[in-house]
Amino acid sequence: MHYETAVPVASGGTATVLKAWDPRLERWVALKYLKYDDPLQVERLLREAQAQSRLHHPNICEIYDVAEDERGRPYICMQYIDGPPLDEALAGTDLPTRVRLVQQVAKAIHSAHTAGIVHRDLKPGNILVETQDDGSIKPYVVDFGLARLHEAPGLTVTGEVMGTPAYMSPEQAGGRAVDALSDVYSLGAVLYHVLGGRPPFDGDANVSVLVRVLEDEPKRLRRVEPSVPPELETVTHRCLEKDKEQRYPSAAELAADLGRVLNGEPIVARPPSAIMQLKKFARRNRPLAIGFSTAMSALIVGLAVSIAGWNAATRARVRAETEAAKATQLNSFLTEILQAPDPWVDGREVKVVDLLARAAETIDESFSEQPEVAALAHHRLGYTLKSLGEYDDAKSHIERALAIAGSAGDLPSSIEIDILVDLGATLVALGELHEADTVLNEAFDRAASELEVSDPARTKSVHELAILRWEQGELEHAETLFRQCLELSTTVYGPQDEETIITAGALGNVLRQLDRLDEAEPLLERALEWNLEHNGPDHPGTAIVVNNLAFVYQKLEQHEQALDLFRDSLATRLRLHDHDSMSIIVGLNNLGLQLTMMGRHDEALAPLEEAVDIAGRIFPADDWRVSAVRGTYGRGLMAAGRHAEAEHELLASFEGQRSALGDDHWRTQTACKNLADLYQATGDGEREARYRALLPEATAQNAS
């Protein structure tokens, strides 16, 4: 080691930082040493160096080297920041300076997020502030020791609570997987401290702080420090939302709003709406689980929209006093849902679906004199349950809504057709494709004959039927329907509306599957351009379009470009979703298959195996998605020449798909063909013939 005059300048729980002179480069550097020879701490030290060395931003501390000294002790050599932590540096600074410092930090963190890194321990102590030669002050983000590299998700363990409780997001405090939005929360906690003089939650005991982070709402900032402008309070509390989907979608969006504050421009953030206040109320009722808020919001908003549509259609012929009575009935129903039940029933917590079930029991009684309102309530309950994955209960409520609507005879066609479409979509989700075909065809025919072109229910009927045809493997028919839907959506919503762009992307994906790449590519590029402009890179829609565009490059045999896009799509999914989710499974599967096509079998099997592990954790063993993922893994094993293991996975995939979806489903037939291909590769002609015989003639002849 060639450093000179090393002196301690900082010390924490696990590490010591020395200031040292580098005579070769003639500069001061900081050397970070561990206090203890702990393998886990050494791993985190190296992870910190790996994460931080990838980042090059003027407000992120630079890493110069990782090495061992003469005694074999590992250390990081990094940029020396000659300044105190953020909270100590603020004395005597004005409000604009404080806001500007946090804005610079937010931009730096966004840069880290775009590189696939989440800090996970943002706090004033990890932001050093240095005075520059011109007298200005500049913040630097340091200490990426807890950083998560999205490309190596195994380094983050769900259930492991690490970080600083006072600045930690609720999902991190609860031991759940974190993403970029967790850092957005921590930036909000830092901003709260910068403006209010203390973090949103503080205390002497870490456990009590963690409980408050999970359960309590922070005191409004202007009650802590009345001089804070209202718009800064709004910005701060948007970051601190318990529901991460209600936070700023990225650190860049936070930085942009802080810039608007500094420039005296209107901010994007808004104070909590009435719906959000209801969600916060529900959260304070301990038994209702975090999922309650989102479910109730969807239910209440859906009911409000449905009632508004019903009112608009009937206002001309229904007396005002009748309307008032219906409004009172609906209000009573919503109140029943929002009233928290006894926290413990039969020794267990009340779940979201339990609460919905209790509310459902009151619908017919509450609206006994208003059957059309009961139909709307059953419909929205069914729609909400579908969004929660409770497909059987959703089907029951939507069927009840349809029955009431048919007998009441007082609902406009558009609402009846909308209910019918949602029933068909639920049947598709249940894999009951034959029944869905009957329902969605009826909805399609009725919409075409009874509704104006401008009615959104007509567009919806076409879109859901197109999805059904895609699920059935009828790609040409799906193409026709998606083209019709695109024309309708353009007319109803406009060419630049999100619904239109989603349809364009779906059409592009079908054309890609039909190998009409010259038509698919411009549609997918249009969808990608729109998503990047309106949603930014960190958005689910962007990730999906990037993924589908990667398939185009794959078919064009531009494999390196395809691989880059699949990696980008997976990185975005990891930033946006919990690790154990269907979105991550899709991203891992596609990456693994692309690597398989490139002959990089050892690399390919790791993401494919991880996808199988996730599916096994989040779905029942007999779910068709588990079987589908095992089939993909089996294909990877087959390509790698590991035929015995491949046979095990492919047999399980075929039997699982067959049991869940039936012999005629295209997914079952794909699983069957995979087995036939395996036995062809191993020279087992008898078994190959057995499985080829189960396939349609055209597929059987197309042996690979």
Q: What amino acid positions are annotated as catalytic residues?
A: 121
Contact 74, 34 (CB under 8 A): yes
DSSP string covering 545-614: HHHHHHHHHHHTT-HHHHHHHHHHHHHHHHHHS-SSSHHHHHHHHHHHHHHHHTT-HHHHHHHHHHHHHH
- 215: closest CA among 163, 161, 159, 284? 284
- 411: closest CA among 383, 448, 374? 374
DSSP string covering 480-540: HHHHHHHHHHHHHT-TTSHHHHHHHHHHHHHHHHTT-HHHHHHHHHHHHHHHHHHT-SSSH
CA distance 703 to 674: 10
- 237: closest CA among 278, 274, 195? 195
- 192: closest CA among 169, 222, 216, 162? 222
Contact 219, 282 (CB under 8 A): no
Phi-psi group of 150: left, alpha or beta (phi > 0 → left; psi -120 to 50 → alpha; rest → beta): alpha
For CA atoms 663, 669, 671, 675, the dihedral sign is positive
For CA atoms 108, 112, 114, 118, the dihedral sign is negative
User: Any bridge partners for residue 382, and if so which?
Assistant: none
Q: Which residues contact 345 (CB under 8 A, 6 or more apart)?
A: 354
Q: What are phi and psi of 413, to 5 degrees?
A: -60, -35
CA 433 centroid distance within chain: 27
Biggest CA–CA distance in the chain, Å, is 90
* Beta pairing class for 4-11 and 27-34: unpaired
CA distance 565 to 536: 16
Contact 235, 176 (CB under 8 A): no
